[in-house]
Structure 1
Amino acid sequence: MRYKELGHSGVAVTDLAFGAAALGNLFTPVGDDEAAAAVDAAWNVGIRYFDTAPHYGLGLSERRLGAALARRPRGEYTVSTKVGRLLEPLAEATGDDLAQGFAVPATHRRVWDFSADGVLRSVEASLERLGLDAVDIVYLHDPDDHLDQALREAYPALERLRSEGVVGAIGAGMNQAEALTRFVRDTDVDAVLLAGRYTLLDQKALTDLLPAAAERGVSVVIGGVFNSGLLADPRPGATFDYAEAPADLLERALELKAATERHGVPLRAAALRFPFGHPAVASVLVGARSAAHIRDAAAMLDHPVPGPLWRELLTTGRMPAGTPTPHGD
C-alpha cells in the first residue's frame, strides 16, 4: 500500500482504506469473529487506515474496530471517526435499528448535535468505545441539514481539539460535493470524505470540489466507488445509492463493464482505480463485512488497468471529456 499525507496535517493514510460501517451490522448481522477477521485481513494486505462512526450500529462498529486494533502498534495505523450524532441510551431496547440501516438492538437513540459541546461529548465517547487516548481524524458527519451550526460551532471545536493534539486531522464527510466545497474554501480542514459522487458513473465532484481541494491543498477521501453495488455487479435489481438502479444507469454500468472486460479488467478494478486520476484524492474507502471482501478489494486495486481502457472511456463518451484518469499500467 502507498501512503499519502492528509493536507498538511502529518496524518498519513494508505491508498486503500477500510470502511467499518459493516462492523456495525449494516443491513445484516456480522459475527464478532467475522468482524475481527475482516480487520485482520485488511491489516495483512497492508491497509493502515480505518474509518468508523458512532452512527454505525449505535457504537458497535467503533467497539469492534477498537478491539480488533488493540493488539496492533498504535503508531502504525490511522483511525477516523465522526461527530454530529450523539448516542443517548434508552431505558430499554425498543426493537431494532433497521430503520436506520443497522441490524442491532435499538438501545440508544441518535440526537443530531453540531454544537461545540456536542463535538466534545461525541469525541470523548468515541475514544472510550475505541479504547484510544487520541483519534487521528475526525469528520463532521452528514451536516447537510445543520450546515450553519456545523460551520459556526462544530468546526471551531474541532480546530481546538486539533491544536490540543487530541485530534490529528479534521474534516467533513458527506454524500454531496456542494457543501463540502464550502468547507474546503471557507475553513482550514485537512481533508473531506466524499461518498458516491466521484465514481465511474458520477463525476459531480469535478465541477467545484476537487479543483478547490487541489488549489487549497486539502485531501479528498473517496467512498462509495461502487455506488452501493451497481458498479460491483451491474445486473437487474442492482442498487445505486441504496435504491434499485434506474434502467438508464444500469445500461451505462453494463456498457462500462463490457468496455473494461474488453481490456481484461474487472469493472471493480477500474472503479477502485478511477478516483486516483485526480491529484487531490488521497485514499479510497471500501466497506467490507468479511475477510474475503477486503482481500478482493486489495486485489482489485492492485489489478493492472491499461491506459487504452481510460482512453476508450473518454473517446466513447462514457466519461466526460477532460476527466482526469490514472496513468495506464
Structure 2
Amino acid sequence: MQETSERRPLGRTLLKATALGLGTTAIGGLYSATSDAAAFETMEAAWDLGIRLFDTAPQYGNGMAEQRLGAFLKTKPRDSYVLCTKVGRLLRLPQEPQGEDAYYKGTPPERPVFDFSYDGVMTSVEESLRRLGLDSIDVLHIHDPDAHYAQAMDGAYKALDKLRSEGQISAVGAGMNQSEMLVEFARDGVFDCFLLAGRYTLLEQGALDELLPLCVDKQISIIIGGVYNSGLLANPGAGAKFNYQEADKALIDRALELERVCLRHDVPLKAAAIQFPTLHPAVASVLSGARSRDEIVENNALLRHPIPAAMWDDLRSFGLISPQAPTA
C-alpha cells in the first residue's frame, strides 16, 4: 500500500515526486473529447488527493493539455508541484486541411511535427511555456524518439543539458514506450529520470533485464505510465486493448489468470497493477491518466488498497510475475 502524497526524489535532483502523478493525455481528449469543466474538475480532485506531479506534452491534445494544465497550475504555489513536459514535437498548422486527429478529439487544428534538433527543442520549450502560461518547467523529457536516436542525442539532449546547466530546468529525461532505447540514453548521457510507459507492469517486466538495474546504479528515477497496459489490466476480456491495439487471446488469458490470483486474496486486479511498479527501488511515481474526478479518486483508492505478501508470492509461484521483481 502506498500513500499518494509520499514523496520520492527524482534522480540526484532536489525535485521530489508524489507516489501518484497525473498524466494529461485524457484531459487532452485522447480517444474522446473532454470539456474544460471536466478537465479542471479532474485536476482539482488530483490536487485535493495530494498529487503534486503533473505530466504533459505538446502532442497531448495538440497543445490543449498543456493549456489546460497551465491554467490550473497558475492557481497553485509554484514551489509546491513538479511539472513535466516533453520535446521532440512542434505544433504546426498543416499546409492542407486534415480530418479529425486519429487519437485526440476536440482539439486545436495544429498537428505535431517531429523535430529533435537543438534549435527545434529550444523553440519547443519556448512554445510550451507560452501554452502553459508559466515561467518554468521542472522536467523536460525527450518524447518517443524511436527512429531518431542520433538526432535526439546530438540535438535534443544537448539543448536540455544546456538548459539544466543554466538552471532553467531541474531535470533531463526521456519518455518512451520501450526500454531498450532508454538503456542507450542511460549509457550515453546524464539523465535524471525516465518516463517508461507500459513496459514495467504486472503483465510485462522486460525492463527488469537491463533498464531498471542500470537506473538504480546510475540513480536515474523511473516514472511509470501505462500501468493498465492500455486497459487490459483494467478490464481483461474480449475486445480489451494492449499497446493501443486489440489484445491477442494469449495476453487476455494471462490477464485473466492474474485477476483470478488477485481475487483469491480479495485484491482488485487494478490495485495490484497500480501498486506493483512502485515496489521497485528505481520507481519514483506512477501516473494516472484520469479522465474524470471519479477515475482519479478510484486510482488513489487502488494505490492505497492493502495487498498481502501472500498474493505476490502466489503470482511469482505461478510464473505470472518475474522472480526478480521486487514485491516488498
Q: What range describes the TM-score normalised by the shorter chain of this pair?
A: over 0.9
Give secondary structure in 2 for the equivalent of 1:75: helix
Q: Is residue 99 of structure 2 the alignment partner of residue 95 of structure 1?
A: yes
In the alignment, is the contact (CA less than 8 A) between 1:139 and 1:173 conserved in 2? yes
**Aligned counterparts of 2:258 and 2:109: Cα–Cα separation in 1:** 43
1:312 deviates by 0.5
**Aligned counterparts of 2:98 and 2:326: Cα–Cα separation in 1:** 49
**Aligned counterparts of 2:229 and 2:140: Cα–Cα separation in 1:** 24
Give the alignment partner of residue 184 of structure 1, picking from 183, 186, 198.
Answer: 186
Q: Which residue of 1 aligns with 2:285?
A: 283
Q: Which residue of 2 aligns with 1:231?
A: 233
1:9 deviates by 1.3
In the alignment, is the contact (CA less than 8 A) between 2:221 and 2:283 conserved in 1? yes
In the alignment, is the contact (CA less than 8 A) between 1:94 and 1:106 conserved in 2? no
**Aligned counterparts of 1:90 and 1:19: Cα–Cα separation in 2:** 27
In the alignment, is the contact (CA less than 8 A) between 2:271 and 2:305 conserved in 1? yes
1:322 deviates by 2.4
**Aligned counterparts of 1:301 and 1:109: Cα–Cα separation in 2:** 35
Q: Which residue of 2 aligns with 1:311?
A: 313
Residue deviations 1:224-278 (CA, integer Å, cap 9, x gap): 0100100011121111111111101111101111111110111111001101221
1:106 deviates by 5.8
Give the alignment partner of residue 213 of structure 1, picking from 212, 215, 234.
Answer: 215
RMSD between superposed Cα atoms in Å: 1.2
Q: Which residue of 2 aligns with 1:58?
A: 62
Give the alignment partner of residue 16 of structure 1, picking from 20, 26, 35.
Answer: 20
Q: Which residue of 2 aligns with 1:197?
A: 199
* Correspondences of 1:71-150 after superposition (within 5 Å): 71-90=75-94, 94-97=98-101, 99=102, 101-105=103-107, 107-150=109-152
1:11 deviates by 1.3
Moved over 6 A (4+): none
- The letter for the 1-side match of 2:36 is D
Give the alignment partner of residue 247 of structure 2, picking from 245, 249, 252.
Answer: 245
1:95 deviates by 2.9
Q: Which residue of 2 aligns with 1:322?
A: 324
TM-score by length of 1: 0.96
In the alignment, is the contact (CA less than 8 A) between 2:93 and 2:109 conserved in 1? yes
TM-score by length of 2: 0.96
Q: Is residue 40 of structure 2 the alignment partner of residue 39 of structure 1?
A: no
Q: Which residue of 2 aligns with 1:295?
A: 297
1:320 deviates by 2.2
- The letter for the 1-side match of 2:245 is A
**Aligned counterparts of 1:172 and 1:259: Cα–Cα separation in 2:** 34
Q: Out of 25-34 and 233-242, give the one that drifted further.
A: 233-242
Give secondary structure in 1 for the equivalent of 2:50: coil
Q: Which residue of 1 aligns with 2:155?
A: 153
**Aligned counterparts of 2:285 and 2:243: Cα–Cα separation in 1:** 20
Residue deviations 1:34-63 (CA, integer Å, cap 9, x gap): 000000000011100000000011100000
**Aligned counterparts of 1:150 and 1:272: Cα–Cα separation in 2:** 31
- The letter for the 1-side match of 2:207 is A
Aligned-residue sequence identity (percent) comes to 51
